[in-house]
Amino acid sequence: MPRISGKIAHCRIQALLFVLFCLTLLVCAAARAGDTSPTTRENETGGRFYQERKQGWFWYKDPIPAQIEKKQEPGKRTSPRILPSLDQYSIETLWNMYPDDFQHLLDVLQKKAVQSPTEENILEYLTMQDIARRKALAYTNAVMYVTQKHGDLFSVNHVYPSAGPGITARVQLQRNEIERTIRRAGHDHALIFFVRQGCGFCDKQARILDYFQDKYGWPVRAVDIGRNPDAAARFNIAVTPTLLLITRGEKKYMTVSNGVVALTELERKLFRAIRYLQGKTRQDNFLIYDFQKGSALDPSSILKQGKQPWKNTD
């Protein structure tokens, strides 16, 4: 009996020690799990696995459900819409209202009248339309007044008239300037006429060039691009017929036309090319004639006025 009792006491002691050992492990584990300092996290070789080992190797957190934004159903509002009324405005206030604000109010009143087409709502919208029409009419009248008073600044009628006799005079001035410029340039300019074998359009253009030579006496040299590919490559010629203007003794040249052009069109294009190569025109005033320079048709002439037109209101 004493031996058995001694063995039982010994087992009890071992069980108690085992329980104390397990409790110690649990306390340490809880302490380590609650320690989230950077040093502790860096020293643990297992990273997040050892920090969260109580969750298990194959344990995953459920993703946080995204907050679904409640969309407003069509036709339903959380608060009632407040619509404007013309009772809030006087006619003078509407007349002097800034255009952007006026347009916004006009749009809202239109939608209000469409949504609820009562007599009052429609009258409000039509009143706004009438004010807009009167404002536009007032602006048009003011523009006519200013352009008539300051016609020297904005009017083009003196260089591009619209009346019948004025049109006749303008066309004659243009014709005289074109012909005079072409005749004067004949001694130091020439035309190269690029053609191709079997080009029917080239034959038609050649007949027009015969009239041109009879009228101005210009030298015109025909070049077959099939027999002279180097010349075609030099001037980047891809289609026929093509007319090219060159300046004698210089490397300047300019394309006059591609395809068949009538004599009058050929003269206009040649006139502009001559003036451009001579430096009398630029890209921004390429279509200007001499008698139109300095007018409202001359884009850059406003830079030479040296005054501010809006300050000349006497």
Do 98 and 30 share a structural domain? no
280 occurs within a structural domain: yes
Domain of 120 in residue numbering reads as: 87-145
19 occurs within a structural domain: yes
Which regions of the chain are under pLDDT 70? 1-79, 306-307, 312-314
The pLDDT value recorded for residue 244 is 96
11 occurs within a structural domain: yes
pTM of the model: 0.62
Question: Residue 107: in which H helix or E strand, if any?
Answer: helix 99-115
3-state secondary structure of 1: coil
The pLDDT value recorded for residue 42 is 46
Instruction: Give the angle 128-130-132 at the CA atoms, nearest 5°.
Output: 70
The pLDDT value recorded for residue 22 is 63
259 occurs within a structural domain: yes
65 occurs within a structural domain: no
Do 269 and 206 share a structural domain? yes
The number of distinct structural domains making up the chain is: 3
Do 104 and 37 share a structural domain? no
Are the C-beta atoms of residues 199 and 255 closer than 8 Å to each other? no
Cis peptide before 241 (omega within 30 of 0): yes
Do 193 and 109 share a structural domain? no
What would you report as the CA-atom Rg of the chain, rounded to the nearest whole angstrom? 46
Per residue in 172-204, pLDDT (tens digit) is 999 999 999 999 999 999 999 999 999 999 999
The pLDDT value recorded for residue 164 is 93
Do 272 and 197 share a structural domain? yes
Residue from 94, 78, 274 nearest 191 by CA: 274
Are the C-beta atoms of residues 298 and 292 closer than 8 Å to each other? yes
CATH number at residue 212: 3.40.30.10
The pLDDT value recorded for residue 181 is 96
Paired tokens of 274: 């001559």
258 occurs within a structural domain: yes
The pLDDT value recorded for residue 237 is 92
71 occurs within a structural domain: no
d(CA 51, CA 199): 89
The pLDDT value recorded for residue 93 is 95
Phi and psi, residue 76, nearest 5°: -120, 135
- Out of 112, 145, 178, a domain closes at 145
d(CA 211, CA 110): 65
